[in-house]
Amino acid sequence: MPDRKRKIFFIALLAAVIAASGAFLYLRPSVMRLEEVFHFLAHETGLQRVMGWTGLGEETGIGGKKLYWCPMHPQVRRERPGPCPICNMQLVEMDEEKETRADVLRFTDRQLQQAGVRTAAVRLLDLFHEIDTTGRVAVDERLLRTVSNRVRGRSRIERLHVDFTGQTVARGQPLVSLYSPDLVTTQQEYLAVLARGGPWAGALLEAARARLERWGVSSEQIEAVAESGRPVEVVTIRSPLSGTVIRRLVTEGQYVEEGEPLLEIADLSRVWIYGDVYERELPFIRTGMAVEVTAEGIGGRRIEGAIDFIDPLVRPESRTVGVRFAVGNADGLLRPGMSARVRIRTRREKVPAVPASAVLLTGRRAVVIVAEGGGLMRPVEVRLGRKWLYGGTGQGERKNSFLADDERYHEVLSGVSVGQRVVTAGNFLVAAEAGFQGVLKKMLPPEGEADAGEVGAAPAQVFESYEEIRKALAADETASVKETALRMVEEIDALNTGDGGLQRALQEVRSAASALAGEGDETGGLRLRFSALSKTLIALVERYGLPAGLERHAFFCPMARGYGGWLQPGRAVENPYMGRKMSSCGAPLPLKDAGAEP
């Protein structure tokens, strides 16, 4: 009996609520309909319990009828089409079969248009990978010659025809004139044998002649000695090649011994550039592969070259491999000691690929949103192969390689098929507006195996060290840069995040910091290496986020050509690439764009 009374009480309570709702609708008929009020009330916690006790459900009031709903506000349902009372968008007819698919998001054409959603097909593309590295210009050792004293005994430098470092010389041009007593004595012996003659004269003459030629006396000079009957007192050493004097080791009047170096001459029409690549990039490169070189000191020009040598050893402290590039330098623009940037374009292959903008990286997972037509969107996990590849058909596609904003692609190994369409723009808005996280949650690992992107980011001290370096470069105070970069390496070495993906990303940051702490104190080189460090740190932030409570913004300066973006706290720009001469040059960038070269 008490149960029956309780049930009657709650039915009466429910009837009173419905009556109150009717009165509300009577006063505001143009705003909300009865079934909507019923739906709202049915989702209040207390009323849900009442309906559960009474055995009633929402379908009791509106079940069995054809319904229209608002994809942006699924709680709004009507028996007839019309505008949503909340957002004023047109209601759409519910498709019971598709409505039951928990992995599908549904949108109207108007919603997709407002969100700026664009799609592209998964295609087989000719793709190539590009690797950027910084390097140092050096002399091609195969075009380097040392000019030495070839005369026996002590010789005196009578005259230096080339008297300063950096002088350009031609092949055969006089360099040094030497006086040697042994040289004079040998010529006198040659003349004596020539005058005396006899059966042994031929052999003695040949021996004396060969000795003089070894000391640098030419055949013409020997013939002149024979004709004049007088020995020459000096021998003139001539340049073995056309090039530039890069070292002068003696002065006029100095005595030198046999074999002592006098000058070093280098042919700079071809130079070497020493750079590094990460060991993970080794499968992409081989000797003979074409490269493109640019540097601050050559006015934005690009010079073609090739990979000449790949070091057989890996540097364990930075996990990098040395690579040597041979570059033509007929105009003499590249000078030994300059810093340069080298871009390696790898071989192209036809592979299934999606635009990089279509991929949402959630830590351990890569997700794309597949457009199924009719406003239906379905998030799909994909397995990626090689990343950040370029598409094209020839070497001339990228007119301005270091500043181009070409679309890049990710190779897809599984998850989607060629021909399917994926969302390339507006995918983050689609995720936010449609409650994407609720759908994506079904794809995540069980509790206790949370996504790396949700459990943490890079430790704050890494960003603090980076900020110290950035501020030093912005103030043109580079003395502490290498020391701080070394501290950054030590900080990363001491970390154990417990996540393999984050740990690998931190190792990339470590490698870039180690390169920054390496050889070379020239400001331009430090800024180039800082640019590489910024790229790795920006990529880490895009994937794993910032530490809790840490504020960082990305900026790019169009005047700092070839450097890319950087991170800094606050909105007041302090440009690390231009320094004090243009410290305020910088525009904010979305983090996704900051790692590239806009």
Four-residue CA torsion sign, 327, 332, 338, 340: negative
Q: Are residues 301 and 413 in the same domain?
A: yes
144: Cα separation from own chain's centroid: 34
302: Cα separation from own chain's centroid: 18
pLDDT of residue 140: 94
Residue 227 pLDDT > 80: no
Q: Are residues 287 and 376 in the same domain?
A: yes
57 or 348, which is more confident?
Answer: 348
Q: Are residues 191 and 205 in the same domain?
A: yes
What is the pTM for the complete model shown?
A: 0.47
pLDDT of residue 439: 54
pLDDT of residue 399: 40
Residue 217 lies in a domain: yes
As for how many domains the chain has, the answer is 4
Q: Are residues 393 and 274 in the same domain?
A: yes
* Least confident range of 107-116, 178-187, 433-442, 475-484: 433-442
Residue 159 lies in a domain: yes
* Least confident range of 125-129, 189-193, 390-394, 551-555: 390-394
- Cβ neighbours for 521, distance < 8 A, ≥ 6 positions apart: 478, 482
Closest C-alpha among 446, 473, 465, 548 to residue 506? 465
The Cα angle at residue 544 between residues 540 and 546, in degrees rounded to 5: 85
Supply the mean pLDDT for the chain: 76
Query: What CATH number should be reported for the domain holding residue 377?
Result: 2.40.30.170
188 or 468, which is more confident?
Answer: 468
Q: Are residues 479 and 524 in the same domain?
A: yes
- In percent, how much of the chain has pLDDT > 70? 73
Q: Are residues 352 and 421 in the same domain?
A: yes
Residue 436 lies in a domain: yes
pLDDT of residue 44: 43
Residue 209 lies in a domain: yes
Q: Are residues 272 and 382 in the same domain?
A: yes
Among 266, 284, 317, where does a domain finish?
266
**441 pLDDT band (50/70/90 cuts)?**
low
**462 pLDDT band (50/70/90 cuts)?**
confident
Residue 294 lies in a domain: yes
Closest C-alpha among 526, 559, 362, 551 to residue 455? 362
Residue 446 pLDDT > 50: no
Residues paired with 292 in a beta bridge:
304, 343
pLDDT of residue 445: 47
**41 pLDDT band (50/70/90 cuts)?**
very low
* Least confident range of 64-68, 188-192, 564-568: 64-68
- Token couple for 73: 């506000």
375 with 114: CB under 8 angstroms?
A: no
Residue 449 lies in a domain: no
| 3-27 pLDDT tens trace | 666 666 667 666 665 665 555 444 4
- In 3-state terms the chain splits into helix, strand, coil percentages (rounded to 5) of 35, 25, 40
Q: What single string gives the DSSP state of each residue in 87-103? A: T-PBPEE--HHHHT-TT
Query: What CATH number should be reported for the domain holding residue 156?
Result: 2.40.50.100
Residue 57 pLDDT > 70: no
Residue 450 lies in a domain: no
* Least confident range of 153-167, 249-263, 343-357, 522-536: 343-357
454 or 41, which is more confident?
Answer: 41
Q: Are residues 64 and 109 in the same domain?
A: no
Domain that holds residue 554: 455-594
- Cβ neighbours for 576, distance < 8 A, ≥ 6 positions apart: 469, 470, 471, 473, 474, 527, 530, 566
| 22-37 pLDDT tens trace | 554 444 444 444 444 4
Residue 425 lies in a domain: yes
pLDDT of residue 123: 87
Q: Are residues 357 and 439 in the same domain?
A: yes
334 with 396: CB under 8 angstroms?
A: no
Q: Are residues 229 and 315 in the same domain?
A: no
Residue 59 pLDDT > 70: no
Among 266, 290, 317, where does a domain finish?
266
Residues paired with 419 in a beta bridge:
none
**466 pLDDT band (50/70/90 cuts)?**
very high
Residue 449 pLDDT > 90: no
| 514-546 pLDDT tens trace | 888 876 778 888 888 898 898 888 888 877 777
41-45, 122-126, 393-397, 438-442: range with highest mean pLDDT = 122-126
* Least confident range of 48-52, 150-154, 251-255, 492-496: 48-52
* Least confident range of 166-180, 280-294, 345-359: 345-359
- Token couple for 553: 């913004």
**173 pLDDT band (50/70/90 cuts)?**
very high
Q: Are residues 76 and 127 in the same domain?
A: no
- Token couple for 470: 């950035």
The Cα angle at residue 153 between residues 150 and 159, in degrees rounded to 5: 60
Q: Are residues 244 and 278 in the same domain?
A: no
Residues paired with 238 in a beta bridge:
174
Region 43-72: what's the mean pLDDT? 48
Region 575-596: what's the mean pLDDT? 74
pLDDT of residue 537: 87
